[in-house]
Amino acid sequence: MRRHPHDLFVSYAPADELWVEEQLLPRLRMASLRVLTPADFAAGAPQLVNIERAVDQCRHTLAVMTPAWLAHAWNDFEALLASSSDPAGRQRRLIPLRLQPCDVPPRIAMLTPADFTNAERFEENMQRLLKGLGVRAQIFISAKR
C-alpha cells in the first residue's frame, strides 16, 4: 500500500480563499491532519508540477466546490489528477466539499459531497467530513467565534 506524507490537498478557487483560510484550514489542522494548499507550492516551479506533487503526496484531495472553483481551469486539472488514480472512487482520493450551490460535472457529481452550503450546520458537517477522513470524533470550538 502506498504511503502519503500528507493527508489532504485542499483545492479551492482564489475567490474562496478567505473561507478556506479562516474556517476550513484551522479545523483540519486542529484535527491533526497534515494539509497542503496552493500556498505551499514551490516558488518558481511550474504550476503543473506543483499540482501533480500535491495530489500525489496526499491521501485525499478536498475540492471546495463553488461556481468560482468550476470556472478555474487549474482546479479542474487538480480534480482530474486526483480521480485518475481512483476512477471508481473507492479510496476517496477526491472528496467534493460543496460550499455553494453549483452544477458539478457528472464525474464529480457521482461522489457524495460534504455539504457546507448551510452555515448553521457547519459543526455537524465538519464532524461528518472529519469522520470521512478517518479522524475520531472530537468536539471543537467553532473557528467562527
In tens, the pLDDT along 1-20 reads 467 899 999 999 999 999 99
Q: Is 139 contained in some domain?
A: no
Q: E strands, the chain, where?
A: 6-11, 35-36, 58-65, 94-98, 114-115
**Total number of domains in the chain:** 1
CATH of the domain at 54: 3.40.50.10140
CB crowding 126-144: b at 16 or more within 10 Å, else e: bbebbeebebeeeeeeeee
Tens of pLDDT along 45-65? Answer: 999 999 999 999 999 999 999
Q: Is 142 contained in some domain?
A: no
Q: Is 67 contained in some domain?
A: yes
pTM given for the model? 0.89
Tens of pLDDT along 98-129? Answer: 999 999 999 999 999 999 999 999 999 999 99
- For the chain, what percent of residues have pLDDT higher than 70? 92
